[in-house]
Amino acid sequence: MNRVAAIDCGTNSIRLLVADYDGSGLHELTRRMEIVRLGAGVDRTGELAPEALARTFAALRDYAAEIERLGATRVRMVATSATRDARNRDELVTGVRAILGVDPEVISGEEEAALSFGGAIGDLVGGSGQFAAPDRVGAPSQPGASDRSETRGQPGASGNPGSSDARGGLDRQPGRPGAAGTPTQLGTSGQLGTSGQLGKIGLSGTGGLSSVATPILLADIGGGSTELVLGDAHGVRAARSVNVGCVRLAERHLRDDPPTAAQAAAIVADVHAALDLAAATVPLTEAATLVGVAGTVTTVAALAAGLAEYDADRIHLSVTSAEQVAAVTELLLGMTHDERAALPVMHPGRVDVIASGALVLRTLVERTGAAAVVASERDILDGIALALATSPPALPPAPADPPLSAAPSLSAGPSLSAAPPPPAAPSLPTGAGPAAG
């Protein structure tokens, strides 16, 4: 059995997955998430803030202890949008190396997209998940991966659709992409927010059935960027990363509580401009099914279903109609910070960015003409673990002459505490809730 640890370090959250790989799939041992907001202010300053780095390093120390306890033999950490944009990314690399004994791999937006697709596709159409970005192999590169061994039905009918934005209202035309199956197949009608009406696509859970129509357009709405991937069980056809994410857009435009119509319209304009760029590479209207991953999509799905508490098992592969996406977005835009925080499925670290994220999702649904979006709890984190588990172990580095001091390693227990303590910094809320984005 091959036991691997994957870490996804995004703009808003940092997440850990430790899993066993048996040759056919991943068997999860633990999945954790902390909101550290590494990308706080990066859109404005171009740098990772000391306080954000401190929060990230603190979470990583906890993850390192968990990895050591579970005995993962290989570790890969990837860093995405905020780190790509930051001039001082070397400060993150140095800190991670001291804590984990491996360097984080700062991946391109296109590889981020491919890894997200690879993590999600197996549960959707039974694909292997072993897909590369159009111009790059999907296996981990060095630095960024470590060999630790010596030799692992839509949820009811909608509520009333939200008002249209500056680029027009909902545009679902016959023949445009939607969820797998018809509304009758996907679920029964009901009111937005009625608990228990969470429609699911008809998956066996074994990865053996082709259960959604392909090709799939997968959207990974993160904190700093959104990745869009068109593909199917055979692989990625096209992928593009664009710099619109819930943290970036909230910091750029949201000034009032609740946001003004003008602030929401500014976000929508940015999203349309980004989708114009993406459309040059990814045919946004050619998919048969729209799939969304990460915390924005899963939170919107949970709100549309009126869940009393966040339930990842119920959210995974659930279907939310376009009308529900619009209704939830309008609901969030009309709420104050405290009202959003009181929603039972809302993670405390997502309260200030969920409205901007929902606007990204709503605008994407409108641009594609999708009738619904399928939410997946499997995403880039699973893609990282799967790519690591199925890649050949890295060769050990050649010895230096004269020998240099080795970087701390998880296998040498005391080294976990060898990194200097981070500067004191205010923490972000880390209550229970959606596990990504």
Token output for 151: 């030799």
Retrieve residue 65's tokens: 């202890």
Q: Is 363 found in the same domain as 217? A: yes
Domain that holds residue 349: 183-376
Average confidence (pLDDT) over 313-335: 96
pLDDT top residue among 394 and 114: 114
Q: Is 274 helix (H, G, I), strand (E, B) or coil?
A: helix
Tokens (6 digits) for 188: 């029964």
Quick check: is 423 in a domain?
no
pLDDT at 174 over 60: no
**pLDDT at site 124:** 87
Q: Are residues 387 and 334 in the same domain?
A: no
CATH code of residue 392: 3.30.420.40
Of 115, 28, 15, nearest in space to 59 by CA: 15
Other C-beta atoms closer than 10 Å to the C-beta of 184 total 9
Task: Note the Cα 139 to chain centre separation in Å.
Answer: 19
Domain contains 156: no
Q: Indicate whether 171 pLDDT > 70.
A: no
Whole-number pLDDT of residue 150: 34
The pLDDT value given to residue 403: 52
Q: State which H helix or E strand residue 28 sits in.
A: strand 26-35
Which residue carries 């981990």 as its tokens? 140
Reported as a pLDDT band with limits 50, 70 and 90, residue 122 is confident
Cβ proximity of 208 and 195 under 8 Å: no
- What is the distance between the terminal CA atoms of the chain, rounded to a whole angstrom? 30
Domain contains 288: yes
pLDDT score for 141: 37
The encoded tokens of residue 20 equal 């066993």
Is 432 inside a domain boundary?
A: no
266 and 399 inside one domain? no
Residue 428 lies in a domain: no
CB atoms within 10 A of CB 265: 16
Q: Are 372 and 388 within one domain?
A: no
Shared domain for 265 and 317, answered yes or no, is yes
252 and 366 co-located in one domain: yes
Looking at residue 120, what is its pLDDT? 92
pLDDT at residue 34, as a whole number: 95
> So what's the pLDDT on residue 197?
42
Are residues 365 and 253 part of one domain?
yes
pLDDT band at 1 (very low <50, low <70, confident <90, very high): confident
In a domain, 128, yes or no: no
Whether residue 429 is predicted with pLDDT greater than 90 in this model: the reply is no
Q: How does residue 401 score in pLDDT terms, banded at 50, 70 and 90?
A: low
**42-88 pLDDT tens trace:** 999 999 999 999 999 999 999 999 999 999 999 999 999 999 999 99
Residue 193 near residue 306, CB atoms below 8 Å: yes
When pLDDT is averaged across residues 181-196 and rounded to a whole number, the result is 34
Tell me, yes or no, whether 119 and 189 share the same domain: no
CATH for 350:
3.30.420.150
145 shares a domain with 187: no
Distance CA(81)–CA(243), nearest Å, equals 8
Number of domains in the chain: 2
Q: Tell me: the pLDDT tens digits for 343-370?
A: 999 999 999 999 999 999 999 999 999 9
pLDDT tens per residue, range 223-280 = 999 999 999 988 999 999 999 999 999 999 999 999 999 999 999 999 999 999 999 9
Q: Determine the average pLDDT of the residues in 88-107.
A: 96
230 and 365 within one domain: yes
User: Is the pLDDT assigned to residue 185 strictly greater than 60?
Assistant: no
Domain boundary residue, one of 376, 409, 430:
376
* 406 and 354 housed in the same domain: no
Within this chain, do residues 8 and 62 fall inside the same structural domain, yes or no? yes
Mean pLDDT of all residues in the chain?
A: 79
Mind listing the pLDDT tens digit for each residue in 139-156? 343 334 444 333 332 322
How much of the chain, in percent, has pLDDT values that exceed 90? 66
342 phi and psi, to 5 degrees? -80, -10
* Model confidence, pTM: 0.75
CA-CA-CA-CA dihedral for 249, 255, 256, 262, to nearest 10: -60
